[in-house]
Amino acid sequence: MTAGRTIFKNFISLTFSNAVSKASGLLTVVYLARVLGPEDFGSINFALALVSYFAILAHLGLATIGVRELAQRQENQGACVNSITSLRLLLGPAAFLLLGLFVYLMPQTSDLKWLTVFYGLTMFTSNVLNFDWVFQGIEKMEYLGAASVIQALFYMGAIFLFVGGNADLPVIPFLLFAAQAAAALFLFLVYRRLNPGYRFSFDPRLSRELFRQALPVAAWGVMTIIILNSGVTILGFSRGTEEVGYFAAAYKIVWIFVEAMVAYAVAVFPSISKHYLQNPETFKKIMDATLKWMAIASYPAMTGLFMLAAPIITLVYGSKFHEAGLLLRLLAVLPYLIFLSNVFSLSLLAAHRQQKNLWISSFQAAFSVLLGLALIPLYGAAGLAASAVISYGVTNAVYAFQSRDVYHLSPAHAVKPLLASAVMALALAALSGRNVFFLVGTGAAVYTAALLLLKGVTREDLDLISRTAGFWRADGGGQ
């Protein structure tokens, strides 16, 4: 199979499985929020945030190194799988013991402590025993997609079947553990079928070398965990789990847009990596087009989230979560800010500026913690939402300055989508109080009309799309 066919097959597999997993995941989250209410829903998210710090210790970035090793050295596949699995089997129990010690010392209720410990068990199924990285490395993404669907559907079905109210809260971590275990077992059995001669063994020399290579990746991972979860941790300790529940409800909606935009940024990474070295002018055109089209696609979504925050929250979660409406408004711009950070980060990687990425992420982690400590105890969940937006805004300014010799960011691409979004906001304000589905449809129509009138999409843009589609068909679907 050609490289193009392999990439296309993997893309289709992951796109389909991702759609199923995300849809079932959203249904599960909405159901849990509705039956548990803000406080217990917040307890789940607070416990998961705490576990995430120790989960990075359970794998230390070994999966990333493993993917690279398997992709580059297929002949050494069994030794690589054994070495990384051995290391993770050593790291997992140590991470779990550290989590237990931390939970014992933290000043929360015993119920919340036990919930955190129960969620800690998922480190073994998601970070220690999971073979997902193996299938990524050998480019068998269809099995990875199948495992993702198995886990998502298993978990959703179990939640619907066994969770009916607050009394069932302690059961939820075990249902997640069971769903993850089913997916991990599926991947292990498939790997054994594809490699019937596989036998577990331990190579100390290779294990030490892989561990050494994984440490810089782990450092970056720690920074990412701090950026994503420090605010929730501070909020839970300073203001309680109910406010965590309100924030999580709004954040889950925003994260749908974040994942879609970041997925595009990751998809374009191979192209910008190649053209940065081979054709700098093409590199610039790809970056310009990426930022332009993401602005066109994301600005109306952010405007809709801001203008329709309250009815969206009520529609999704019910009236118990009405306080999350303000938080959704504050977080509306976050998907685009996170997307920009990812584009800057990937462009620096394409230009072999990894060290800049590491120190910028370290700066953001420190800045996020300090800003959170300043705002969250005073303003609660609203302070967390504001600190997240400010943190990414400041970090993007740092990224833009540090990457100016790689790519110079011009705001010109954002002007017309921003003006069209302003027209959309005026229309939504004038129609306030109508059905939310009617408002979403009307807002999309007004934005599209305004963008076309402003010539935000030109004939050249449409020709480029047409040529790209024609090239794809002529090339046999990317062969």
DSSP 383-410: HHHHHHHHHHHHHHHHHHHHTTTT----
Q: What pLDDT does 5 receive?
A: 47
Answer whether residue 206 shows pLDDT above 80.
no
206 or 1, which is more confident?
Answer: 206
Q: How far apart are alpha carbons 277 and 107 in whole angstroms?
A: 53
pLDDT on residue 301? 92
Sign of the torsion formed by the C-alpha atoms of 44, 50, 55 and 56: positive
Residues 301 and 420 sit within 8 Å (Cβ to Cβ):
no
pLDDT of residue 379 exceeding 80, the answer is yes
Q: Is the pLDDT of residue 414 over 50?
A: yes
pLDDT in tens, 31-53: 999 999 999 999 999 999 999 98
Please check whether residue 439 is in contact with residue 431, taking contact to mean a CB–CB distance below 8 angstroms: yes
Q: What's the whole-number mean pLDDT along residues 155-159?
A: 95
Q: CB–CB of 172/32 below 8 Å?
A: yes
- The pLDDT-based confidence of 146 (bands split at 50, 70, 90) is confident
Which of the four pLDDT bands, split at 50, 70 and 90, describes residue 1?
A: very low
Q: What is the pLDDT of residue 477?
A: 41
Distance of CA 303 to the CA centre of its chain: 21
Q: Are 407 and 287 in contact (CB under 8 A)?
A: yes
**pLDDT-derived band of residue 457, with 50, 70 and 90 as boundaries?**
confident
- pLDDT, residue 306, reads 95
pLDDT at 14 over 70: no
Query: Which residues make Cβ contacts (< 8 Å) with residue 61, sequence separation at least 6?
Result: 214, 215, 216, 217, 218, 220, 221
231 φ/ψ sector (left φ>0, alpha ψ -120 to 50, else beta): alpha
pLDDT of residue 281: 82
- What is the reported pLDDT for 475? 45
Q: What angle do CA 54, 59, 60 make, to 5 degrees?
A: 85
> Among the ranges 4-18, 253-267, 426-440, which has the highest mean pLDDT value?
426-440
Predicted local confidence at residue 165, as pLDDT = 92
Six-digit token string for 358: 């590491």
pLDDT band at 277 (very low <50, low <70, confident <90, very high): confident
201: left (phi over 0), alpha (psi -120 to 50) or beta: beta
| DSSP class of 308 | T
In this prediction, residue 448 carries a pLDDT of: 92
Whole-number Å distance between alpha carbons of 39 and 247: 11
Asked if residues 231 and 237 have their Cβ atoms less than 8 Å apart, the reply is no
**Is the pLDDT confidence value at 144 over 50?**
yes
* Residue-wise pLDDT tens digits, 70-104: 665 666 677 777 778 888 888 899 999 999 999 99
Cα angle value 340/343/347 (rounded, 5°): 145
Residue that has been written with the tokens 């190579």 in this structure = 203
State the average pLDDT over residues 434-454.
Answer: 93
Those residues whose C-beta lies under 8 Å from the C-beta of residue 103, and which sit 6 or more positions away, are 50, 113, 116, 117, 120
pLDDT of res. 192: 83
Which sign does the torsion angle of CA 466, 468, 469, 471 carry?
A: positive
Do residues 321 and 240 make contact, with C-beta atoms less than 8 angstroms apart?
no
> What is this structure's pTM?
0.81
| Contact (CB, 8 A) for 159 and 135 | no
Q: What is the pLDDT of residues 337-376, one digit of tens each?
A: 998 888 888 788 777 776 787 889 889 999 999 999 999 9
The Cα 309–Cα 311 span in angstroms is: 6
Altogether, the residues listed in the chain come to a count of: 479
> 122: phi > 0 → left, psi -120 to 50 → alpha, else beta; which?
alpha
Q: Tokens at residue 360, please?
A: 């910028």
User: Do 117 and 48 meet the contact criterion of CB atoms below 8 Å apart?
Assistant: no
Average pLDDT value for residue range 291-317: 91
- Which segment of 74-78, 129-133, 323-327 scores lowest on mean pLDDT? 74-78
Q: Report the share of the chain in percent with pLDDT over 70.
A: 83
How many CB atoms lie under 10 A from the CB of residue 397?
Answer: 10
Those residues whose C-beta lies under 8 Å from the C-beta of residue 128, and which sit 6 or more positions away, are 58, 59, 88, 89, 91, 92
Judge whether residue 164 has pLDDT over 70: yes
**pLDDT for 105:** 92
**Residue 96 in tokens:** 């779990």
Q: For 225-249, what is each residue's pLDDT tens digit?
A: 888 889 999 999 999 999 999 999 9
As a whole number of angstroms, the distance between CA 99 and CA 97 comes to 5
- Say if CB 115 and CB 49 are below 8 A apart: no
